[in-house]
């Protein structure tokens, strides 16, 4: 594509596909395991998309009952995921517990021959992840990871523009988030030492690969720091430099910004550049610039909840079309390789090769 300008008409630019997909006919019974805070967004998206949630499970039964009453009153509720997995009508299981609780639930769901959509971050150990990927292959079911950021309208639109050849060969991806993440105070999330670079940044590590067509960096260098006066346990400042043979990427996370919040993405290629800016991940304006001029699409939808239509829709389409999903766990382990390398780099002050660190540093 280098040197070959792709000039698209306004009509073509306006018709770039970025919306979540819905399978043609496949509407399986879905079971949700873990009915915590984020599942309001899962269930809103599924209800809007016309997906069929038939069962809800949480160790806190009242929580499962609450989500049923809010979204799918006909759903059966369980407090033990093993009981949900015995329900033979359930074909797809959405697992939205925290990573350490999740591995055994994913394993049992695969053994029960259910297709699985796991919340992110997928695992705390890459080799454990490989075992799950192999089990899914053996059981002939799909194992996908809920990287819903890929369906944030601005990221999806930029990706579609890249796929259409509008940007040429992408060589620079610079993503910067300046927001307030202190809402985690007193929650499970505050206990995650590398909260920002693991639990949050996994979306951005994944999106760098998404924009660079799956290319893997040759080196990862990261650092973290504290906001002055910070009392929250995890460091709220983090930055990462990713080196590629023919590209570079940087990520900036300022997670303690109280005023003037901003979220910005800059993606440059040999034929064009995409810039997306807004006050948050939920409110973004994209601008594409190429030899043909600039284009500012009006995008509908939001990361939350529509990204969850994107991920579940992609999994269901992949099952219907009998193809691997684009959010497969096997692919996701590559994003986690970069993430774990960044965590180790932040701890050691040294650049790290993706894949060299197999376990979430404690």
Q: With CB under 6 A as the contact rule, which of the stretches 34-42, 65-73, 279-287, 321-329 interacts with ligand NAD?
A: 34-42
Give the count of residues interacting with ligand NAD (CB under 6 A). 25
> Which CB sits closer to ligand NAD, 72 or 81?
81
What phi, psi does 4 have (nearest 5°)?
-105, 100
Give the dihedral sign, CA 62/313/207/288: negative
How far lies 162's CA from each of 31, 158, 170, 273, 291, in Å? 35, 6, 8, 10, 15
Query: Is 33 near ligand NAD (CB under 6 A)?
Result: yes
Q: With CB under 6 A as the contact rule, which of the stretches 28-36, 47-55, 171-179, 353-361 interacts with ligand NAD?
A: 28-36
Nearest to 177, CA basis, from 93, 278, 254, 274: 254
**Separation of alpha carbons 339 and 171, rounded Å:** 20
Candidates 57, 77, 184, 268: give the one binding ligand NAD (CB under 6 A): 57
What letter would DSSP give residue 291? Answer: T
Tokens of 268: 């440059």
Query: Is 38 near ligand NAD (CB under 6 A)?
Result: yes
**Separation of alpha carbons 134 and 132, rounded Å:** 5
> Which CB sits closer to ligand NAD, 60 or 323?
60
- Site for ligand NAD, residues 220 to 249, rule: CB under 6 A: none
- Site for ligand NAD, residues 183 to 222, rule: CB under 6 A: 188, 199
- Site for ligand NAD, residues 146 to 175, rule: CB under 6 A: 146, 148
> Which CB sits closer to ligand NAD, 167 or 360?
360
For residue 102, give every residue at least 6 positions away whose Cβ sits within 8 Å of its Cβ, in sequence order, or none.
Answer: 34, 95, 118, 119, 123
Q: How far is the CB of 235 from ligand NAD (least distance, A)?
A: 17
Query: Is 34 near ligand NAD (CB under 6 A)?
Result: yes
> Which CB sits closer to ligand NAD, 99 or 168?
99
Q: How far is the CB of 41 from ligand NAD (least distance, A)?
A: 7
**Separation of alpha carbons 350 and 360, rounded Å:** 16
Q: How far is the CB of 185 from ligand NAD (least distance, A)?
A: 14
- Site for ligand NAD, residues 70 to 99, rule: CB under 6 A: 81, 96-99
Nearest to 239, CA basis, from 253, 219, 256: 253
Q: How far is the CB of 308 from ligand NAD (least distance, A)?
A: 8
Closest residue to ligand NAD, based on beta-carbon distance: 36
Query: Is 63 near ligand NAD (CB under 6 A)?
Result: yes
From the CB of residue 214, how many other CB atoms can be counted at a distance below 10 Å?
10
> Which CB sits closer to ligand NAD, 59 or 252?
59
CB distance 248 to 172 below 8 Å = yes
From the CB of residue 9, how many other CB atoms can be counted at a distance below 10 Å?
9
> Which CB sits closer to ligand NAD, 183 or 248?
183
What letter would DSSP give residue 119? Answer: P
How far lies 70's CA from each of 32, 117, 189, 270, 273, in Å? 14, 22, 25, 49, 43
- Site for ligand NAD, residues 111 to 140, rule: CB under 6 A: 119-120
Q: How far is the CB of 293 from ligand NAD (least distance, A)?
A: 34
> Which CB sits closer to ligand NAD, 192 or 249?
192
Query: Is 60 near ligand NAD (CB under 6 A)?
Result: yes
b/e per residue 272-281 (b: at least 16 CB within 10 A): bbbbbbbeeb
Query: Is 59 near ligand NAD (CB under 6 A)?
Result: yes
| Interface ranges with ligand NAD (CB under 6 A) | 33-39, 57-60, 63, 81, 96-99, 101, 105, 119-120, 146, 148, 188, 199
């Amino acid at each position: 594509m280098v040197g070959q300008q792709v000039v698209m008409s306004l009509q073509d630019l306006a018709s770039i596909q970025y919306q979540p997909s819905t399978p043609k006919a496949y509407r399986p019974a879905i079971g949700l395991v873990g009915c915590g805070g984020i599942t309001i967004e899962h269930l809103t998206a599924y209800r809007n998309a016309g997906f069929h949630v038939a069962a809800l499970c949480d160790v806190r039964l009242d929580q499962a009952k609450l989500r049923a009453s809010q979204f799918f009153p006909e759903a059966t509720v369980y407090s033990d995921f093993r009981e949900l997995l015995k329900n033979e009508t359930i074909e797809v299981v959405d697992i939205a517990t925290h990573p350490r609780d999740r591995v055994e639930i994913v394993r049992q769901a695969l053994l029960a021959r259910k297709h699985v959509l796991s919340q992110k971050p997928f695992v705390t150990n890459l080799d454990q992840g490989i075992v799950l990927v192999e089990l899914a292959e053996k059981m002939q079911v799909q194992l996908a990871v809920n990287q819903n950021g890929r369906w944030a309208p601005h990221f999806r639109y930029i990706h579609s523009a890249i796929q259409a050849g509008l940007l040429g060969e992408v060589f620079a991806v610079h993503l910067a988030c300046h927001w307030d993440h202190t809402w985690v105070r007193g929650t499970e999330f505050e206990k995650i030492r590398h909260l920002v670079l693991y639990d949050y940044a996994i979306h951005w590590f994944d999106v760098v690969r998404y924009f660079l067509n799956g290319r893997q960096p040759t080196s990862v260098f990261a650092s973290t720091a504290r906001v002055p006066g910070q009392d929250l346990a995890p460091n709220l400042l983090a930055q990462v430099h990713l080196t590629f043979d023919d590209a570079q990427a940087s990520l900036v996370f300022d997670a303690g910004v109280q005023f003037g919040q901003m979220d910005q993405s800059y993606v440059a290629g040999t034929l064009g550049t995409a810039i997306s800016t807004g006050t948050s991940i939920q409110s973004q304006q994209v601008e594409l610039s190429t030899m043909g001029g600039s284009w500012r699409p009006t995008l509908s939808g939001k990361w939350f909840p529509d990204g969850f239509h994107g991920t579940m829709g992609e999994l269901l389409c992949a099952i219907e079309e009998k193809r691997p999903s684009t959010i497969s766990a096997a692919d996701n382990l590559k994003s986690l390789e970069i993430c774990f390398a960044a965590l180790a780099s932040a701890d050691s002050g040294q650049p790290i090769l993706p894949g060299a660190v197999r376990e979430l540093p404690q």
